[in-house]
Amino acid sequence: MTVTGNEIIHQYLRHNKKFPHVLCAGCGHGIVLGTLIRSVHQLQIPKDDVVIVAGIGCSGRLAVYVDFNTVHTTHGRALTFATGIKMANPKLNVICIMGDGDALSIGGNHMIHAARRNIGVTALVLNNNIYGMTGGQSSPATPAGSVSMTAPFGQLEKSFDTVELAKGAGANFVARGTVFHVRKLEKLMVTAIERPGFNMLEIITPCHTQFGRKNKYKTPVDMYKWLKSNAMDIERYNEIEEGKRGDKFPIGTFIERDQPGLEERYYKLKADLRKARKEG
């Protein structure tokens, strides 16, 4: 008997949580949550072993609907809570859900250091190029030239490259996907969850309500079409000449290292120290 996608999702939703959810129709965040559920299901990780740690923003609200251990933290600080949880109990699969404002602006420093220390956490950065929940102000990922509530005359600052940041800081695994390319996203997410160390997956997800409307994408469909025609596998992207890339951006895996997570190194050190002490 084949199990449908819906049936899988239903196994993981909270029966005692009052629905409907807070997301706008057409928001990409729901697709991310669906993908997350399917990824965990595919990996056959018991619900009790999964901890979702979320920041604050529309993305942060995802945690409340799913039947895992869920912690909705403070704005920008999800990775710090996740670090404490993972160090306290390395057996847990700790997955962080953050918005682009959350992860790159207020939480930028934590992102750098989580990657540097290679803590065994999966970081999902839901990049919708805008502060969704607070009503459409510029985020570090807002593209130069586009309009926001706090850049009514066009964003002057250059937008931030999440992938380059995570790579530079030393993350084990760095990838980017979009909510349009769901199958590919699921593959990337499965890898990001199952690998040890710090794994950062940036997910391009449209916020039609706060970003699209003001920036010539009148409907959610326009935004998905934009994703469809501009996201491109990294190999193909690299073949295009620098000046001719336009709005195109690469998706796929950017780096795959295989360093043990901090928690693994710490517990090994502990075991060695304690053994040496007993023998000595």
Partner 1 sequence: MARPKKHKEIFAQGNEAVVEGALMAGCSFYGGYPITPSSEIMEIMANRLPLTKDGVFIQLEDEIASMGAVVGASLAGRKAMTATSGPGFSLKQENLGYACMAEAPLVLVNVMRGGPSTGLPTSPAQGDVQQARWGTHGDHPIIVLSASDVQECLEMTITAFNLAEKYRTPVILLLDEITAHTREKIKIPHPHEYEVVSRIVPTMPPEWYKPFEETVRGVAPMPPIGSGYRFHVTGLTHDVNGFPTSRPDEVVDHMERLHRKIDQFFYDIQIVEERQTEDAEVVVVAYGSVARSAEFAIQQAREAGVKAGLLKLKTLFPYPRRATEKILGQAKRLIVPEMNMGQMSREVKRVNCGRASVRTINRFDGQIITPSEILKVIMQG
Ligand X SMILES: Cc1ncc(C[n+]2csc(CCOP(=O)(O)OP(=O)(O)O)c2C)c(N)n1
Q: Does 148 bind ligand X (CB under 6 A)?
A: no
Q: Which residues contact 125 (CB under 8 A, 6 or more apart)?
A: 98, 99, 100, 103, 104, 162, 200, 201, 202, 203
Tokens of 156: 């002057």
From the list partner 1, ligand SF4, ligand X, none, partner contacted by residue 215 (C-beta under 5 to 8 A by kind)? none
Judged by beta carbon distances under 5 to 8 A according to partner kind, the member of ligand SF4, ligand X, partner 1, none in contact with residue 24 is ligand SF4
- Whole-number Cα distances in Å, 4 to 145, 181, 183, 185: 43, 19, 15, 19
What dihedral do alpha carbons 30, 35, 36, 39 form, nearest 10°?
170
Closest CA relative to residue 114, chosen from 57, 53, 59, 65: 53
**Interface pick for ligand X out of 42, 70, 134, 230 (rule CB under 6 A):** 134
Contact at 8 Å (CB) between 126 and 32? yes
- How many positions of this chain bind ligand X (CB under 6 A)? 18
CA distance 78 to 74: 7
Residue 219's binding partner out of ligand X, partner 1, ligand SF4, none, with CB under 5 to 8 Å set by partner kind: none
Cβ-contact 130, 139 below 8 angstroms: yes
> Rounded to the nearest 5 degrees, what angle is found at the Cα of 252, between the Cα atoms of 251 and 257?
135
Site string for partner 1, 7-46 (x = CB under 8 A): -------x-xxx----------------------------
Q: Is 244 in the site for partner 1 (CB under 8 A)?
A: no
What x/- string results for residues 25 through 54 when contact with ligand SF4 is judged by CB under 6 A?
Answer: --x-x-------------------------
Smallest Cα–Cα separation from 37: which of 71, 76, 63?
Answer: 63
Nearer to ligand SF4, 133 or 232 (CB): 133
Residue of the chain from 63, 133, 174, 193 that contacts partner 1 (CB under 8 A): 63
CA distance 82 to 123: 10
The residues of the shown chain that bind ligand X, judged by CB under 6 A, are: 56-59, 75, 99-102, 126, 128, 130-134, 139, 207
The residues of the shown chain that bind ligand SF4, judged by CB under 6 A, are: 23-24, 27, 29, 58, 128, 132-133, 207-210
The residues of the shown chain that bind partner 1, judged by CB under 8 A, are: 14, 16-18, 47-49, 51, 53, 63-64, 67-74, 77, 79-85, 87-89, 91-92, 109-110, 112-113, 266, 269-270, 273-274, 277
